[in-house]
Amino acid sequence: MLPPGPDKKQWCSCKRCGATYACPSTYGTGNLHKHLERCKRRDTIDIGQLLISCDHGSVFLGTKKFDQQKFRELLVVAIIMHCQPYQFVEYEGFRAVFRYLNENVQTISRNTCKSNVNKLYAREKERLKSLLQSSPGRIFLTSDLWSSIILDGYLSLTAHFVDKD
């Protein structure tokens, strides 16, 4: 909130771009909230981080829109790829990094992470089933048994097939 102007009205300003808006007690700061949704500086620290886009011959500056669903999917894939525990998403340092990169990121709990991993598993299982069903030939399975130095037993199953492409 800015101090009252010469007309005795209350004013507020955007911390990112500096735009000022009237905010009398009759309707509050609704116009500032609307501005924050479309503020060009919302997701950026400096002008060097803005992206130039071209649409129907006109050029404008804008920022890349943050997609929460894409973030969750990338997060789940990273946890699986690097064999991290579900609790990894609750580590304070991890959350601080993502809050720094984008203040609009919604962090998730380990239970939500587990649910997202299960959804990804089901989706990939269905994709693999449809790929195998659409293969024109046979599927050959090869198995192998071995043990590690500390005598842990392992079983490997490999499928060989030619897909439609």
Mean pLDDT estimate for the chain: 80
Q: Distance between the two ends of the chain, CA-based, in angstroms?
A: 63
Using alpha carbons, select from 55, 54, 18 the residue that is nearest to residue 35. Answer: 18
54, 85: one domain:
no
Residues 88 and 130 in one domain: yes
Alpha carbon 20 to chain centroid, angstroms: 31
- Tally the residues of the chain: 165
Residues 106 and 57 reside in one and the same domain: no
Domain that residue 86 falls in: 68-134
Which pLDDT value is given to residue 4?
Answer: 56
Examine the domain organization and report whether 86 and 56 are in the same domain: no
Residue 5 confidence (pLDDT): 57
- Summarised one tens digit per residue, pLDDT across range 42-83 is 655 555 555 555 555 555 555 567 788 888 999 999 999 999
pLDDT at 35: 76
The DSSP letter of residue 48 is G
Q: Band of the pLDDT at 153, cuts 50, 70, 90?
A: very high
Question: Which is higher by pLDDT, 18 or 81?
Answer: 81
In terms of Cα–Cα distance, which of 29, 30, 57, 63 is closest to 44? 63
Question: Which has the higher per-residue pLDDT, 164 or 75?
Answer: 75
103 forms beta bridges with none
Cα gap 114→86, rounded to integer Å: 6
- pLDDT tens digit string along 20-47? 777 766 666 677 677 777 776 665 555 5
> Per DSSP, what are the bridge partners of residue 2?
11
Please give the pLDDT value at position 16: 72
Res. 127 pLDDT band, cuts 50 70 90: very high
pLDDT at residue 140 above 90? yes
| Residue 16 to residue 57: CA distance in whole angstroms | 28
How many domains, in total, are found in the chain?
2
Mean pLDDT over 126-147 rounds to: 91
Q: What is the pLDDT of residue 109?
A: 92
Q: With respect to residue 83, please indicate whether it lies within any of the assigned structural domains.
A: yes
Whether residues 97 and 118 fall in one domain: yes
Dist CA 90 CA 107 (whole Å) = 8
* DSSP 8-class letter at 134: T
39, 62, 85 - which closes a domain:
62
% of the chain with per-residue pLDDT over 70: 76
